[in-house]
Structure 1
Amino acid sequence: MPDTHGARVIGVDGLQGLIEALAGRGYRVIGPRLRDGAIVYDDVAAVDDLPAGWTDEQDGGHYRVRRRDDAALFGYAVGPHSWKRYLHPPDLTLWRASHGPDGLRFEDAAASVERLAFIGVRACELHAIRIQDRVLLGGAHADPNYRQRREGIFVVAVNCGTAGGTCFCASMGTGPAVTEGFDLALTEIMDGGGHRFVVETGTPDGDAVLGTLPHHDADDADVTAAHAVVERTAGAMGRSMPDTDVPALLMRNLEHPRWDDVAERCLTCGNCTMVCPTCFCTTVEDTTDLAGDTAVRTRHWDSCFTMDFSYLHGGSVRQSGRSRYRQWMTHKLSTWVAQFGTSGCVGCGRCITWCPVGIDITEEVRAIQASDAGEEAP
């Protein structure tokens, strides 16, 4: 449940003021927008840019936006974008080298970054950011480009009021209520009391910004309504991860026949890794101009579903679709725990929704669990 002790309330005008206040502080404000038949993250300059009155319909291999019967601004689950695309971008120029009259000159092309403010960050996405923090900032070799983008972001989180058909954050312990990692957290309420947002502060910066907005203290009715939003969402999850020791289950079933079954359906397209908010694999590409005067090194997202990703001298280590899917799923749910101390899955459901053939990671775990226990697979 959200911690609404000491919460305050703003209206839609207060949300507009929040966007303006963040822009006035030099942030590039990013939030949800309706574009190309999906709710995506992009630049936001006003409340009118938000997807008012729109929601999403999600199932395995299925995504549609449709109209709601109200004007909710955050009445959807999650779309194909995650905040990863701003903190760990899909394409990043690392350096550029040029040859001129004064000799060879190197330029760190990734040195300058914008200050970012995210509006509409869900609980599962906050957990995903924290996981990427551990992967890309933890240990002796932190990613300096990620650090530059991560430092100083302003996070306006939203407690989920709508569960998607592929959401399973409740069973992963990652939502739907936001608990930490935010500057401000909103719970959108639409009832007889009007369209308003119960606001929690998570940092002094968040409190300072909220203090500049028109607001009032939350009363008991506001607090009760905010808790009801989260409770309703938690009870409406479209999926759930089986309640078992998933890492151990997968490790003792590496040769399970279910891997062959999923390989017959999997297209090894890599969609699941592209939409996943925690996948972090990359490759680098070096290019030169035709004159040979300039060379550029660029980093791109990569996927363990590609043949080249595991290529060593003589060929790919994981040549079959079976081995590549098994690598992805066992890393995400099992060996990630050994590496980083947490699961690599936050239950957002994107990998299910955006899989062209609707492969469901929770269903695959459940099938292996059933046969492991001597039961008939679902």
Structure 2
Amino acid sequence: MTDSPGTERAVLDREGLGALVRELRARGHTVVGPTVRDGAVVLDELDSADRLPFGWGVEHEAGRYRLRPREDGAAFAHSAGPQSWKAYLHPQRLREWTADREADGRITVRAEEPARVSYAFLGVQPCDLRAIAVQDRVLGGGAYTDEGYRSRRAGAFLVVAECTEPGATCFCVSMGTGPGAPGDAAYDLALTEVVDDGGHRFLVRAGSPAGAEVLAALPRRPADEATADAAREAVAGAATRMGRTMPETDLHALMAGTLEADRWDDVASRCLTCGNCTMVCPTCFCTSTEDVGDLTGDHAERWRRWESCFDLDFSHLPGGPVRSSGRSRYRQWLTHKLGTWHDQFGSSGCVGCGRCIVWCPVGIDITEEAAALDREWSARTLPPTAPAEPADARGRPDGRTAGP
């Protein structure tokens, strides 16, 4: 948790959180946040803060996700669920244009105008905040931009909920994306939830002029040192409780140096190439298009939809698919995510949220695969060790009896 100089800090209680939702809605925002539905913490439009998942946490492991009740009534003490904010900024399915045959036989094509919506995202975890920044570079920057994405992103008001309860598959510390929101990150408000003997409250700081304006309109009190210290300790404590870690190596170089590693065969024997990891990933951005028509032949539409590099047809060319094996498709995904993403966009494509581990049906773990590749790479590239000193008859080179 890092504050920029001059950052205003205040404390909201639960009623203040409710006032925040009302204020954002009054300003014309569609408020989206976490709520409980169908046995999971999912994102949905909120008409009230009461719909937040107060008193619910999650338990997850590789290939497993479960809700669990919490006695403290916390609203944001849950790690990443099956959805990310990508579903709103880069929707799963969008119509791009329609075409109609007129009575005189002419064809009229109408481009689909981006829907005018101003989102307010409440409860963005720091790893997902970084994922939004990654998508900003991919879809909103450079020579080729997605105008629909830019339109949806331009009006988005971001309220970060700093992580105080990492999950068993979280590794944001390894990727430098959490658990606190850095002072230079692009957000409007940052909340840190505190539940202790002093009550249930939220330390809030503004990260933009728009955030400061909203904060000034809420019932609040000045930040006290006890709350600030408790919030700081909660975030610092979360950093020490990550369930996973990436190997401490240059992942970009690791991916480039292990293209022919044996480990790819091992993971390919387990991978179902189902594409779940790409669907839940908050940074994967690949799409395809499909054209549909009605039975009259007078109306046609083109739709853009999410696509996965695990699909066999994703790399299909007239001569067949470029990546026909599961091995090649998993390798493409991992080397792009951790390696060549740097070459394209100047950062990693992984933010350490752990969703790909949780929602893999067979529990493939991206951190485990990276560590295995690192071990294999080290074994092949490090010089051989010096020969061991000859052992005596009792099995120890120092002459002592074998054993502790």
TM range (shorter): over 0.9
Q: Deviations over 1:202-227 (max 9, x none)?
A: 11111111111100110111110110
Give the one of 138, 142, 154 matched to 2:141.
Answer: 138
Q: Say whether 1:289 aligns with 2:294.
A: yes
Shift of 1:341: 0.5
Indicate whether 1:261 and 2:266 are aligned: yes
| Equivalent of residue 69 in structure 2, options 45, 50, 67 | 67
- The secondary structure found in structure 1 opposite 2:122 is strand
Unmatched 5+ residue regions in structure 1?
Answer: none
Q: Does 1:163 align with 2:169?
A: no
Q: Please tell me whether residue 204 in structure 1 is matched to residue 206 in structure 2.
A: no
SS in structure 1 at match of 2:134: helix
SS at match of 1:76: coil
Question: 2:28 and 2:108 mapped to 1: Cα distance?
Answer: 32
Question: What is the Cα deviation at residue 54 of structure 1?
Answer: 0.4
Counterpart Cα distance in 1 of 2:114 and 2:282: 24
**TM (normalized to structure 1)?**
0.97
Map 1:139-154; keep pairs closer than 5 Å: 139-154=142-157
Residue identity opposite 1:203 in structure 2: S
Letter in 2 for 1:3: D
The one of 4, 14, 17 equivalent to 2:16 is: 14
Q: Does 1:349 align with 2:349?
A: no
Kindly state the Cα deviation for residue 58 of structure 1 after the two structures are TM-superposed: 1.1
Residue 123 of structure 1, aligned match among 126, 130, 133: 126
SS of the equivalent of 2:232 reads helix
Hey, what's the Cα distance between the residues in 1 that align with 2:300 and 2:54? 46
- How big is each residue's C-alpha offset from its partner over 1:49-90, in whole Å with a ceiling of 9 and x where there is no partner? 011100011111111011012110111011000000000000
- Equivalent residue of 1:8, what SS? strand
Cα distance in 2 for residues equivalent to 1:342 and 1:15? 34
Amino acid at match of 1:161: T
- The match for 2:57 is 55
CA contact (8 A) 1:122 1:160 kept: yes
1:229 to partner: Cα distance: 1.0
Deviation per CA, 1:102-146: give whole Å up to 9, x if none.
743322224323111100001110110110111112211111111
Instruction: Tell me the secondary structure at the aligned position of residue 164 of structure 2.
Output: coil
Query: Could you tell me how far apart the structure 1 residues matched to 2:99 and 2:27 are?
Result: 34
Answer yes or no: is 1:220 the counterpart of 2:225.
Answer: yes
For residues 123 and 44 of structure 2, the distance between their equivalents in structure 1, rounded to whole angstroms, comes to: 11
Paired residues in the alignment total 375
SS at match of 2:269: helix
* Equivalent position of 1:318 in the other structure: 323
Q: Deviation at 1:100?
A: 2.4
Deviates more, 1:343-352 or 1:109-118: 109-118
Give the drift of 1:16.
Answer: 0.4
Query: Could you tell me which amino acid in structure 1 is paired with residue 339 of structure 2?
Result: S
Query: In 2, are the aligned partners of 1:59 and 1:166 still within 8 Å (CA)?
Result: yes
| 2:198 counterpart (193, 201, 206) | 193
Q: Which amino acid is 2:162 matched to?
A: N
1:80 to 69, 79, 82: 82
State the match for 2:343 in structure 1.
338
C-alpha distance in 1 between matches for 2:58 and 2:186: 26
| Identity %, equivalent residues | 54
Native 8 Å contact 1:92 1:110 kept in 2: no
Identify the range of structure 1 (29-38 vs 104-113) with the bigger mean alpha-carbon deviation: 104-113
Letter in 2 for 1:339: Q
Offset of 1:371 from its aligned partner? 1.9
Separation of aligned partners in 2, 1:310 and 1:162: 39
**Which one-letter code corresponds to 1:283 in the other structure?**
S
* Alpha-carbon shift at residue 34 of structure 1 (Å): 0.4
Unaligned runs of 5+ in 2: 381-404
8 Å Cα contact 2:169/2:243 also seen in 1: yes
